[in-house]
Structure 1
Amino acid sequence: MTPEEGRASRAVLFGVHAFRHLADLTGVQHSLVALKNVLTAQDVCALPEESCEIVPANAPPGGFLDALEDAAEAAEHLLFVYYAGHGHHGTDGGLLLATRNSSVRRSYHSVEYETVRPIVAGSRARHKVVIIDCCWSGLVHMDAATTEATDFAVPGTCVLTSAAATEKSLCEPEGSVFTLALTTLLREGVSGPLPDGAAAELLPQLTMDHVYDALCARLAGREVAGRKVPRPRMSARDAGHRIPIALNRAYVGKPARLETFHAEYERVAAARRHRRRARVVPRLPPPSGRGAECPFCLRYVDLGTSQLVQRDERGYESAPVVVDDATHPVLRHSIVQRSVLRCPHAEPGGHEELPASYFFHDEPLSIALIGSPATGKTTLLAAMIAQIEDGLLRPMGLTCAPLPASKYKSFQDYFVRPYREGRQAPITPPAGQPSYTIGLLVTGGGRTRPVIFYDIDCGTLWSIPSQKTDFLVGSTAFVFVLDPIQAFRGAALEEWRAIYGTERPLPGDPYFDLMIDALPRQSDHTEAHATVAVAKSDLLSSDPTVRRWLATRLALDSGEPGEESRDVYAYTRHHGDMDWLKPFHHFSRCTLHFVSATGGPPSPHGDFASRPTPQRVLAPLLSIFSAAGLLDMADSSRLGW
């Protein structure tokens, strides 16, 4: 509903979980909270908090009826009434709604449903919805005098009950079976075929008949503790079944012509395929001697003329060390592991030292994570390292070691450990000098390559002199982190845009442009390897394509060539803007992936709701490692590029 409609609406929720003379229903209090959460969620029902009243569980009948009268008088757009607890029969056969002091013999402590009916009928609200979750709740669909079905006799009203007039409702400790199914349905949205054959995910809004049909389908055949869950019942008058009750979180907009976008992807990929080079980045042959390119100043460091330095446990510099061909291999390895190399081309304070082992292996890899603030770059990197530590790369023939151990441990303490515990990672601090975030020695495919990751505070790219960020131009690979909250259209993302202050999807990421424009080109493309990681993809899991990829096990032989990249491309073209696909159009190699670092919604105001369950976060790395020759596979294109 619109903000104006929300302000003109009222909801009264009355749930009784503790009784003096009847059995307690502890689950009702959980159901009540779950229902209020979906009613007030901006991307579900959008009812203002102040318009949604929970009547105290120990309130007498008059307390509930007073709250109902107040809401009925104030409501102009929607009046929503809910009761959960015990139901029992009145002397006239009508339904009684139990309060804390109710009992079978003391019916005067209960609320007669027939007193609720005229209050709702007297409201001037355009729409009226009444939901009753208790045993025998289907009695409200009957006329007590004639015991025949009634249409509620209130124009514009829909009444939904948890059971028929002759059935008992079921309640478990975690909540009422009916109400939890209802709230889950509203929170997830409705997808799949409707009774009329239409696709529910193409509906931007859910009406009461959509909710009823989906609820019946969800509860059909279900049993709890050996008891069959009753089928809900609904009655309505004057199009009451057409009352719009919630936004459909499974809404995907108009049907995407994915085949059109797939064909577009294939055309772009084919046009540049013949331009690809065998290496990740074309480089000039190094000068004679042994060494490697400094990743910061991009100048060659010759180990024959450079000096290694060891530091003590406190980090102070000790005597220089020499490693030559006469040094025993085991001793050489030990010295290199403990040593650092100060780039001879660096000015004092120009850039940090590098571990000596960076220069004693095959050509290094430098990987830069690029994206606007709050896209989740640091969380994604922490998830990658956590999954590597858990051994997920070993079955693929890759082994990883810290580079160096001290810097690796620092990243563990400040980022990986909080991530594993479900705490948000600290904000990436601005870089005062060129510096990498974490390093690994990766062995695979008969090679060992040092790998360093740059997770740069994006403000640094604007605020410090360009010569101090030129090292990013020399990166051998890039992970462009795309945030769905910033990039994609969809009702399910509106609440998060409001939280982050983004009124509508953005037309692209300025940091994507900044990096792409700074890189050198050969022919039509930048000769580096890029990946686009659609982070927080769990927010898009109502889409069957996204859900399929998030559930696909990470493996070298998963999917047909280009299949995941093609699907991400098509999804982004349909739900976002072409500018978000700039890396695919500007790099000679580019893969696209659905990833989720946490497996659940982001937490803008605190720690995560639960411990992270990362999904496919290593897919971008596997693509880069394959291009770097670290994966021993006959056809690396099976990874998707």
Structure 2
Amino acid sequence: MSRPDKLEFTSPSGRRRVTPARFGPESRRERPLPQLIRNCVLDDEGQQCVQVRLSAADAARPAARALLDTEAGTALRLHRLLDDTEYGPLFPRVVGYELDTAEPFLLYAAPRGLPAARTQVMAASDQQRFTRDLMLALCLLEGQGLVPRGLSPATVLWDGARVQLWGLEAVTGTGQPRTPWGRPPFCPPEQRRGEGLADPRDAVWSAAQVLYRLVTGRPGPADGPPADLADHRVLDRTLRRAFAPRAADRPTPAELLDLVAPGAAGRIRITVPADETRPHREAFEEALRLKRQAPPARSGGDATAAGPGGGEVLCPYCLENIRLDLSKLFVADETLQYRKKLDPAGITSLVSRHDAMRGAVQKCTANPSFPEHFIPVPYLTYGRPLTVAMVGQSSTGKSHLLTQMIAAVTDGGLEPFRLTWQSVNPEQHARFVRERVQPLRGGKVLDHTAALSDFARFVEALLITDARGQVRPVGFFDLGGEDLVRTDAALRFLLGVDALIFVVDPALALPLPQLDHVRERWGVEVNRDGDLAFGTVLDRLPKNGPYLDVPAAVVLGKADLLRFQPPVDRWLARPPATSLDPGLVREESRDVYGLLRRYAGQAWLRPFDAIRRCTLHVASATGGQEAGGRYPAGTEPRRVLEPLLALLAMHGLIDVPGGAEALAVGETPVIEAVPWEETDGSGGSGGEERQ
């Protein structure tokens, strides 16, 4: 062992721990992706551990980081469910983790036993216990909706009495698309081909192959039952169907467990802690009921209607109303300055004129005291733009979230919803991509938004065409609500806002212990009074009834900080939406509402309470936190488009079952869908024993 080093990590409880640590020699595992493994001793307690880490070079590969994240998430989930139970020893016990660093790592308690690969031929007396434990582990994983893809003699440990199942980096979710993984014969045929959806019976094939290897000392065939299976009476009786080439023809882990130990599957008992957010999620349903009963806004208007004054729109810079004026058009010269006037009447070709107008800008003179500024012509020619405003303090990550949201649109994220996009001004859009999207994707931390004396900062605009062929400009603004002063310009802007995205910073809102070191690093504290920007904007919006009628979304941003915290982990793991299911949208809203109400308090939910049509979401613009001023593996945005999709649906640009009203308010009570660990299938809830 080396001399002690200081090791800092987060424990499974969320507490930060700093301790001297001594490390042994390091070995490198190449498959499925490179990881470095070494023994270590935590000197403050003499605790024997194993560290699994990525080198800086390997950590720069998003796929390697994603596997380590998967491993950490699975280990922590099993720890929450099984620690201090009789089933805990079946899996590696996580001691701590540090993932948002240049060389991320996991710490496990020392493994129990040796890999089955080192066992020559298992004695018949051990086969039944080994099979029972292995199938019990698979049953527990199946109950959590998890499928281990990496089951092999190298990942199944045996100490002569009990099994311990490793290889958690290879776990995937039941029903997720299979991707090619592993090698024959331990990887089932459909998994090797990457066909269909992951099934718990995938692991049954792998377990059968491991058992055949232990009993015979040799690997089995890659695509079906071993030819000599009948020579091994116990194996033949329990595992013949497990070697079926198709998952649908294999028994489930519970069926195999009952063959080895009759009735064992039905005797599995796990005590689940009571769900502390349940009453708060019930409060969400009551809030929706009150919103459904409320009378509509007295104005009778619709945010999608044409704006004030025929053909007038709000200038995104000076916040004055302007209209198209062909005498004030300019195009960029060779220095990219707007000094060259454009006379559309002098262009005889309709195609050329349309192309010139799309790249042209109009000089705005609505406010002579405002610095010189120009508006893209398409922003003025397609009716009133749909104005989407991001609201939150300057440190909440709005800039990163908005950048990734727009990037997701331009990457084709709206195509499943039959929406297409064009840049309002190709030059400005290219600059936005060059100055914001590309640096962020390359791992650069964007500069914080400066304090805004003019309250609203125009960021970008796109032309969105819906399934009916109707074109609408969508302008994105950043609102520095904490800097808002009572000016006519600010009031005019708020009168024209069509949609709001309120961004919640978990470090400011949630007093969870796993965020303490983040707050210390950033020099911030929990704010029980909510985001000042939220209240400032809500207090200034016009109100014509019991609720504000501007559609809104509340986003728990920087959700990667909570990626192992229920229910955030469940939503971050979902793939990007390809359709809008009102039931799922409300389920996510209910989960986020319950989390915020339980830990942050009602002040952080003021937008939901004040606005009639308001959804709640989790999103991570980067997928992880920066280290040394950069994101080591670039950025991996998660669920950044979902808030915008909800707003577009509420404005009628996306059709949803039941209509836009059903998306945010709902017309019928929602039947709650909860994860496996929260119910016993018979109406029982947290705090009870279940099978």
**TM-score, normalised on structure 1?**
0.63
Q: SS of the counterpart of 1:367?
A: strand
Cα distance in 2 between the residues matched to 1:215 and 1:507: 49
Distance 1:340 1:579, change over 3 A: same
Q: SS of the counterpart of 2:549?
A: strand
Equivalent residue for 2:660?
636
| 1:52 paired to 2:73 | no
C-alpha deviations, 1:333-385, integer Å up to 9, x for none? Answer: 22321221223422143563211111111321121111112211111112112
Distance 1:181 1:632, change over 3 A: closer
Cα distance in 2 between the residues matched to 1:37 and 1:232: 31
Q: SS of the counterpart of 1:555?
A: coil
Among 240, 264, 279, the residue aligned to 2:286? 264
| 1:230 paired to 2:251 | no
Q: SS of the counterpart of 1:528?
A: coil
Distance 1:393 1:132, change over 3 A: closer
Q: Higher relative contact order at CA 8 Å, sep ≥6: structure 1 or structure 2?
A: 2
Distance 1:233 1:576, change over 3 A: farther
Cα distance in 2 between the residues matched to 1:410 and 1:220: 53
How many angstroms does 1:636 deviate by? Answer: 3.1
Equivalent residue for 1:6?
none
The correspondence of residues 95-494 of structure 1 with structure 2, limited to 5 A, is 128-131=45-48, 190-193=79-82, 226-227=153-154, 229-230=156-157, 254=276, 256-272=278-294, 274-275=296-297, 279-280=302-303, 286-287=309-310, 290-296=311-317, 299-303=320-324, 307-314=328-335, 315-322=337-344, 329-350=350-371, 352-431=373-452, 435-446=457-468, 447-456=470-479, 461=484, 466-467=487-488, 469-470=490-491, 472-473=493-494, 474-494=496-516
Question: Match of 2:22, as an amino acid?
Answer: I
How many angstroms does 1:508 deviate by? Answer: 0.4
Among 585, 604, 626, the residue aligned to 2:609? 585
C-alpha deviations, 1:156-189, integer Å up to 9, x for none? Answer: xxxxxx9xxxxxxxxxx999xxx99998888778
How many angstroms does 1:554 deviate by? Answer: 0.8
Question: Match of 2:339, as an amino acid?
Answer: E
How many angstroms does 1:293 deviate by? Answer: 4.0
8 Å Cα contact 1:291/1:360 also seen in 2: no
8 Å Cα contact 1:562/1:638 also seen in 2: no
Question: Match of 1:428, as an amino acid?
Answer: T
Distance 1:403 1:214, change over 3 A: farther
How many angstroms does 1:430 deviate by? Answer: 4.6
Equivalent residue for 2:518?
496
8 Å Cα contact 2:614/2:664 also seen in 1: no
Coordinate RMSD, CA, aligned: 4.7
How many angstroms does 1:476 deviate by? Answer: 1.7
8 Å Cα contact 1:420/1:611 also seen in 2: yes
Cα distance in 2 between the residues matched to 1:541 and 1:367: 27
Q: Which has the larger radius of gyration?
A: 1
Q: What is the aligned-residue identity percentage?
A: 26
Equivalent residue for 2:548?
526
Q: SS of the counterpart of 1:614?
A: coil
Question: Match of 1:358, as an amino acid?
Answer: Y
Cα distance in 2 between the residues matched to 1:180 and 1:470: 45
Question: Match of 1:522, as an amino acid?
Answer: N
How many angstroms does 1:310 deviate by? Answer: 3.2
Q: SS of the counterpart of 2:615?
A: strand
Question: Match of 1:554, as an amino acid?
Answer: A
Equivalent residue for 2:642?
619
C-alpha deviations, 1:299-324, integer Å up to 9, x for none? Answer: 54343686333342321422352469
Range with greater deviation from structure 2 (183-192 or 560-569): 183-192
Question: Match of 1:620, as an amino acid?
Answer: P
Equivalent residue for 1:598?
622
Cα distance in 1 between the residues matched to 2:489 and 2:357: 27
Cα distance in 2 between the residues matched to 1:366 and 1:226: 58
Cα distance in 2 between the residues matched to 1:410 and 1:477: 25
How many angstroms does 1:444 deviate by? Answer: 1.0
8 Å Cα contact 1:370/1:479 also seen in 2: yes
Question: Match of 1:481, as an amino acid?
Answer: V
Equivalent residue for 1:139?
none
Cα distance in 2 between the residues matched to 1:612 and 1:404: 26
Q: SS of the counterpart of 1:502?
A: coil
Cα distance in 1 between the residues matched to 2:301 and 2:111: 53
Equivalent residue for 2:534?
512
C-alpha deviations, 1:436-481, integer Å up to 9, x for none? Answer: 111111111431111111125567546xx84554454132211111
8 Å Cα contact 2:16/2:517 also seen in 1: no
Distance 1:186 1:421, change over 3 A: same
Report how many aligned residue pairs link the two structures: 479
Cα distance in 1 between the residues matched to 2:422 and 2:384: 16
Cα distance in 2 between the residues matched to 1:215 and 1:408: 57
Question: Match of 2:39, as an amino acid?
Answer: A
Among 526, 535, 542, the residue aligned to 2:557? 535
How many angstroms does 1:392 deviate by? Answer: 1.5
How many angstroms does 1:577 deviate by? Answer: 1.5
Cα distance in 2 between the residues matched to 1:534 and 1:351: 37
Equivalent residue for 1:100?
none
Distance 1:520 1:295, change over 3 A: farther
Cα distance in 2 between the residues matched to 1:580 and 1:455: 19
Equivalent residue for 1:38?
9
8 Å Cα contact 2:481/2:536 also seen in 1: no
Range with greater deviation from structure 2 (541-550 or 305-314): 305-314
Equivalent residue for 1:113?
none
Equivalent residue for 1:547?
569
Structure 2 gaps of 5+ residues are: 27-37, 53-57, 89-93, 97-107, 114-132, 139-147, 162-271, 666-691
Cα distance in 2 between the residues matched to 1:592 and 1:625: 14
Cα distance in 2 between the residues matched to 1:488 and 1:233: 46
**TM-score, normalised on structure 2?**
0.59
